[in-house]
Structures are given as structure tokens and as C-alpha cells.
Structure 1
Amino acid sequence: MTAAPRPRRRDTPPPRTGASETEVLRGFLDYLRASVAAKVEGAPDPEARTAHVPSGTNLLGLLHHLAFVERATFLGKRVTDWQATFHAAPEDGVAEVVARYREAVAEANAVLDGCADLGAPLPRARPDKPSPSVRWALTHLIEETGRHAGHADILREQIDGSTGR
């Protein structure tokens, strides 16, 4: 007897962006943002918050964390307990966390839209800490989002067999 085929999503290839450094960096970040949100969107609610690995990592927590990373990096929001950002509130479902992540991305993009110079510091209100350059922030978010998108790939496959971007 053979196993039933697993649900698959069509794999989305990397973006074809413009030629400028800004277009490439923002294009890849937006690609990864869409990929990680798609991994969480539509996941069954109880399983999305269930840890499927010994570290306790769960699908909903990853996206919740990434919303905090977006706001901390691009808006200068202070986070005092990064570990806590990996846990969505019990009353938050998949739809709420996905919506909050997309809102954080839109707020970050609004800041980025006003940044013409990748070498300039991010324009954010955090006088106690110097702002990183726009280039550094974009590169960091590509790395952070890509890393967690890979985690989300594995977790989503463990939940319902769904694969692809």
C-alpha cells in the first residue's frame, strides 16, 4: 500500500527585480515575507501553535516573532524579551497573527519608501541607540526572515504535509 500524496503548493521562484541594489534587496525581502506569511496562512489553528520540535518552536510563534523583528528593526520599537515574541497570545488565531504581520510589513515598507540612500541610518525615533544603515537593516531582515521561513517550511509540512512556497 502506498502513502497518500501530500498537498503541494506551486513553488514560487525567486523574484526578478530591477537592477538597483535597493530593488534587489527589497524584492528579495518582500519575496521572503510573502513566503513566510503563506506558510502560516490557512494552517489549522490548534496545530499552528503546537510545538513540533523539542525547542518549542511553532508556526504561529515564528510569524508573531517576525512582526516584532520588523517593528524593532525598521521602526525602532523596543523589545525587552525576545524569547516572549515567539509566543502568540492564547486568544490570537492564525488570521490575527497573519494580519498583524502584514501590518508590521506595511509600516516597515512605509519607512523604507522614504529611504533613498542605503548607506544612511534608518530614520527612527530611538535616541538611546544608534540606527543601523538601511542596507544593514534590509540585509538583516532578509537573513532573519529567510531563516524563519525555512523553519516554517518544516513545521507546516509536519502539520499537514503542505510543501512549497
Structure 2
Amino acid sequence: MLRTPRRTHRRDTPPPRTGGSEAETLRGFLDYLRDSIAAKVDGAPEPQVRTAAVPSGTHLLGLLDHLTHVERAVFLGEEVRDWPATFRTAPEDDVTTVVARYRETVDRANRVLDTCTDLGAPLPRSRPGQPAPSVRWALTHMIEETGRHAGHADILRELIDGATGR
């Protein structure tokens, strides 16, 4: 059962002021959202961080674990066979481990993106024979996916301990 949280407010971080190119804008907003969701999970208390607050079973650790898998699938070409399972974390995974794994995956994805100079070109893929999305599509999809789950994380974190803001 979730307790009535004591309200704490973090200062909101405004949207990024990115460079003028489309690639700089897309990457700037994606990194902004990545940082936002990682910050929502980082420091969240156990066991509430893995306690479902909604009927779907969604919890903070599961959201970040899912996004780790999505980043790996989209940017690194890793195959995911069971998407619903990506929302479940192993019992031994704690906040520090899940946040570190996400940040490491983001670093790997950014290294791939650093090699992509044409937004219309397909992403490099490690799985031959699998169609790769364009860099533009991948960035736009990840902004949508990360933003959607960052919103979920905002609500879940507020229910856990009253923390708001980015």
C-alpha cells in the first residue's frame, strides 16, 4: 500500500537550448528526456520503486528497464523477443544497478549516433537481414517513447514519496 507522500519539489529543468540543426535538436531533446527519467528513478526508495501503483503493474524500475531494452533494440539492433517482460526487473536489481545499466546503454547508443551524419540514412545494424529505421525515425520514436514513460515516471514517483520536478 502506498502511503500519503510528503511533498518535495525539485526545481524543473527547462527544455534544452539546442543547436540549429535538426540532428542537434532531436538529440538534445532525447538526451533531456533520458536525463529526466533517470533522475526520476535515481534515489527512489525500496521497495516502493518496484511496487505497482496502477492496475497494469507498472513501476519505476520496470519503466527504466523497459527503456533500456528499447534503446538497445532501436539503436544497437538487439532483438527483443518478449516486450512485456522488459517491464519486469530481476529481484536482485536495485535502483543503482538499473540506473547505471540505462546510462551505459544510452552512452553506447550515443556512440552509434555519433557516427550517423545523415538523418535519412538507416541506422547501422548488427543483425544482418533486419531492416533498420532511418536515424530520423529512430530519434523521433525514442523521443516519443522516452517522453511517454517519463510522464508515467513523474506520476509514479510523486505517488511514492511526493517528489516532483525534473
- For the criterion TM > 0.5, the same-fold answer is yes
After TM superposition, the runs of 4+ consecutive aligned structure 1 residues lying more than 2 A away are: none
* Partner residue in 2 for 1:103: 104
CA deviation vs aligned residue, 1:116-157 (integer Å, no higher than 9, x gap): 000000011122311000000000000000000000000000
Q: Distance in 1 between matches of 2:74 and 2:147?
A: 15
State the 1:4 CA deviation.
9.0
Aligned sequence identity (%): 74
- The within-5 A match list for 1:127-138 is 127-138=128-139
* Partner residue in 2 for 1:89: 90
Indicate yes or no: 2:150 matched with 1:149: yes
Give the direction of change, closer, same or farther, for the CA distance of 1:4–1:107 in structure 2 (3 Å limit).
Answer: closer
Q: Distance in 2 between matches of 1:106 and 1:151?
A: 23
SS at match of 1:45: coil
CA deviation vs aligned residue, 1:34-75 (integer Å, no higher than 9, x gap): 000000000002100000011100000000000000000000
Instruction: Using structure 2 for the length normalisation, give the TM-score.
Output: 0.96
Length, aligned pairs only: 163
Q: CA RMSD in A?
A: 1.2
- The within-5 A match list for 1:32-71 is 32-71=33-72
Q: Distance in 1 between matches of 2:70 and 2:115?
A: 20
Q: Distance in 1 between matches of 2:5 and 2:127?
A: 53
Amino acid at match of 1:98: V
